[in-house]
Copies of this chain bind each other. A is one copy, B any other.
Amino acid sequence: MYYVTKRLEISASHSLKLNYSSKCKTLHGHNWIITVHCKSEKLDQHGMVTDFTHIKRAIFESLDHKNLDDILPFNSTAENLAKWLCDQIFNCYRVEVQESEGNMAIYESS
């Protein structure tokens, strides 16, 4: 099996809708470090799984320096963001979204 992983950083703002007290309900921002994992049993005609540049473009153009609440049609948790990205990127099966030094959410397709 061939794999590629692309790691990049976006800056954005968001807030969470929660029915309990949390500072995350206030509009705030992060530098999210996003790691995209793609895999394929066979390489394409160029000898690639997924072009790194195409992954970068898909994430940056939609999310960097934006307000995630305006873009995502659901509560903008790191878990939801990970799945949303995974669904959009060719050959992607796992996305890690690191929201801060200690907090990471991961979506992995079955």
Beyond A52-B103, A101-B7, is A82–B46 a contact (Cβ under 8 Å)? Answer: no
Q: Mark A residues whose CB is within 8 Å of B.
A: 1-8, 16-19, 22, 24, 43, 45-49, 51-53, 56, 74-80, 82-83, 99, 101-108, 110
The reply to whether A47 and B108 contact each other, CB–CB distance below 8 Å, is no
The reply to whether A77 and B101 contact each other, CB–CB distance below 8 Å, is no
Q: Could you name 24 residue pairs across A and B whose Cβ atoms are closer than 8 Å?
A: A2-B83, A2-B106, A2-B108, A3-B107, A4-B103, A4-B106, A5-B105, A6-B103, A7-B101, A7-B103, A7-B104, A8-B102, A16-B46, A17-B46, A18-B46, A19-B46, A22-B51, A24-B53, A46-B77, A47-B74, A47-B77, A47-B80, A48-B77, A49-B79
